[in-house]
């Protein structure tokens, strides 16, 4: 009943919230993507998006359709792969940042290895900066992580916003210093936090340093301080710090997949494509 091409265009818009970006991701003109979505809306008799000059928002029916579209396309892909057989084989060294430990990335990886049974997947979890260092050293084939400011490498998965996070009522030092909970250096969020505070002249101290998101979360839940995190991936139990605390605004953050030049084909290319196609599953914590 539903055209897979129309469903693919619909999901790309739902993931990017932008018709132009969806077209770039699919290699199509914006007008073509719009036509696909319009035909899908006509076929079901419901509006899937509310559009204005500034943004694209899913309607309630659009939210429902994302689940149906994903299920239909997944089933179609599984059937195609079952009868065609996966020809991918070899070792894939994949690195993902700590940001994704509480998302549905494990489900995506489980689906990938169940389809590509001849691929030997090796997983490394760490901070973004460290993963890029490992890739430069030839230790990783594919990385899913935050992109450093000013770095154009990698394929954009989605754009988010850095925010200050902490417990419901964070406490600052009596002398006005901001207690920080940060990753061990090198760390993109650590650098962003320190640069933002220094830019506005706020003093700070390191209250906790950890190499894992679970360690930072535990310190924040204990009330030791505040940290910086992507808004759509705030860990369970933590909250965006209200503006009344007068912390400086933070920049946007881009999540990308970057493939090593030596691994531009085969398993790395296939997993990168799977991540791009399922970016909406990664933007929300489990």
pLDDT in tens, 134-159: 999 999 999 999 998 778 889 998 88
DSSP 226: B
73 and 211, same domain (yes or no)? no
Given 28, 52, 84, which residue is the final one in a domain? 84
Q: Which of 31, 65, 84 is the last residue of a domain?
A: 84
Domain, as residue range, for 259: 90-156+254-282
What percent of the chain lies above the pLDDT cut of 70?
97
Examine the domain organization and report whether 66 and 206 are in the same domain: no
Which of 87 and 84 is assigned the larger pLDDT? Answer: 87
Average pLDDT over residues 32-57: 91
Query: Which residues have CB under 8 Å from 58's CB, separation 6+?
Result: 14, 48, 49, 50, 66
Which DSSP letter does residue 247 get?
P
Supply φ then ψ for residue 175, to 5 degrees: -85, 5
Strand pairing category for 227-230 and 155-166: antiparallel
CB atoms within 10 A of CB 180: 22
Q: What is the number of domains present in the chain?
A: 3
Shared-domain flag, residues 165 and 249: yes
DSSP one-letter code for 242: P
Q: Identify the domain boundary among 84, 112, 129.
A: 84
Bridge pairing between strands 227-230 and 178-183: unpaired
Determine the Cα–Cα distance for residues 129 and 251; give it in Å rounded to an integer.
17
Instruction: For residues 188 and 230, state if they share a domain.
Output: yes
Other C-beta atoms within 10 Å of 248: how many? Answer: 15
Same domain? For 100 and 77 the reply is no
pLDDT per residue as tens digits for the range 231-271: 989 999 999 999 888 999 998 999 999 999 888 778 999 99
Residues 152 and 272 in one domain: yes
pLDDT value at 99 more than 60 = yes
Judged against a pLDDT cut of 60, whether residue 283 lies above it is answered with: yes
* pLDDT higher than threshold 70 for residue 284: no
Residues 231 and 146 in one domain: no
How would you label 226-242 residue by residue, b for 16+ Cβ within 10 Å and e otherwise? bbbbbebbbbeebbebe
Residues 112 and 149 in one domain: yes
Supply the pLDDT for residue 33.
94
Q: What is the pLDDT of residue 102?
A: 83
> Which pLDDT band holds residue 229 (cuts at 50, 70, 90)?
very high
> CA 200, CA 107: separation in Å to the nearest integer?
42
Considering the domain architecture, whether residues 178 and 122 belong to the same structural domain is answered as no
Residue 13 pLDDT > 60, yes or no? Answer: yes
- Asked whether residue 168 falls in the same domain as residue 248, the answer is yes
CATH of the domain at 70: 1.10.10.10
216 and 271: one domain?
no
SS3 state of residue 134: helix
pLDDT, mean over the chain: 90
Q: How confident is the model at residue 82 (pLDDT cuts 50, 70, 90)?
A: low
Do 150 and 263 share a structural domain?
A: yes
Backbone angles phi, psi at 113, to 5 degrees: -75, -25
Residue 93 has pLDDT above 80, yes or no: yes
């Amino acid at each position: 009943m539903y055209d897979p091409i129309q469903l693919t265009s619909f999901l790309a818009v739902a993931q990017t919230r932008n018709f132009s970006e969806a077209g770039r991701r699919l290699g199509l003109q914006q007008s073509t993507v719009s036509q696909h979505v319009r035909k899908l809306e006509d076929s079901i008799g419901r509006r899937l998006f509310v559009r204005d000059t500034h943004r694209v928002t899913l309607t309630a029916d659009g939210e429902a359709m994302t689940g149906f579209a994903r299920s239909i396309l997944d089933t179609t892909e599984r059937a195609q792969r079952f009868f065609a057989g996966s020809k991918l084989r070899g070792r894939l060294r994949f690195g993902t940042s700590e940001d994704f430990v509480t998302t549905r990335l494990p489900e995506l990886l489980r689906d990938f290895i169940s389809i590509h049974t001849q691929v030997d997947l090796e997983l490394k979890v760490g901070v973004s900066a460290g993963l890029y260092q490992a890739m430069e050293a030839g230790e990783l084939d594919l990385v899913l992580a935050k992109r450093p400011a000013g770095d154009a490498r990698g394929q954009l998965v989605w754009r988010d916003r850095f925010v200050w996070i902490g417990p419901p009522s964070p406490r600052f030092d009596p002398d006005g210093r901001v207690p920080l909970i940060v990753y061990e250096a090198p760390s993109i969020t650590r650098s962003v936090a320190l640069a933002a505070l220094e830019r506005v002249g706020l003093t700070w101290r390191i209250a906790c340093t950890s190499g894992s998101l679970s360690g930072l979360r535990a310190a924040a839940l204990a009330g030791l301080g505040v940290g910086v995190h992507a808004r759509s991936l705030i860990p369970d139990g933590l909250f965006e710090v209200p503006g009344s605390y007068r912390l400086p605004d933070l920049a946007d953050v881009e999540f990308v997949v970057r493939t090593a030049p030596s691994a531009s084909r085969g398993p790395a290319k296939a997993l990168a494509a799977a991540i791009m196609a399922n970016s909406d599953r990664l933007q929300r914590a489990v």
